[in-house]
């Protein structure tokens, strides 16, 4: 039982670390559209959703 608790703890720690690393990436508003498309082709659905939210936040921040 203690081993399972330790595994869960380390799994949660790794998941939080990945989430924090993923959130630190800023969006480049000046990136050419073909480059954005090639990057989007390589992303998963969750990654695309996260990037879309980052762009949305950047747009809303600019609008004030």
pLDDT of residue 63: 84
What is the pLDDT at residue 58?
82
Examine residue 16 and state whether it is found in any structural domain, yes or no: no
Per-residue model confidence (pLDDT) at position 15: 59
The count of domains in the chain is: 1
Please give the mean pLDDT across all residues of the chain: 76
Question: Would residue 29 count as lying in a domain?
Answer: yes
Is residue 19, in this structure, part of any structural domain at all? no
Whether 20 is covered by a domain: the verdict is no
d(CA 45, CA 39): 12
Domain membership of residue 60 as a residue range: 25-64
Whether 33 is covered by a domain: the verdict is yes
Residue 42 pLDDT exceeds 80: yes
Whether residue 43 contacts residue 51, with contact meaning beta carbons closer than 8 Å, is answered with yes
Do the domain assignments include residue 37?
yes
Phi, psi values for residue 26, rounded to 5°: -90, 160
Looking at residue 64, what is its pLDDT?
73
């Amino acid at each position: 039982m203690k081993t399972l608790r330790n595994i869960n703890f380390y799994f949660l720690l790794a998941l939080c670390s990945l989430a924090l690393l993923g959130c630190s990436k800023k969006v480049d508003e000046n990136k050419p559209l073909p480059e954005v498309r090639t990057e989007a082709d390589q992303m998963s659905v969750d990654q695309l959703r996260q990037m879309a939210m980052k762009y949305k936040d950047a747009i809303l921040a600019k609008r004030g």
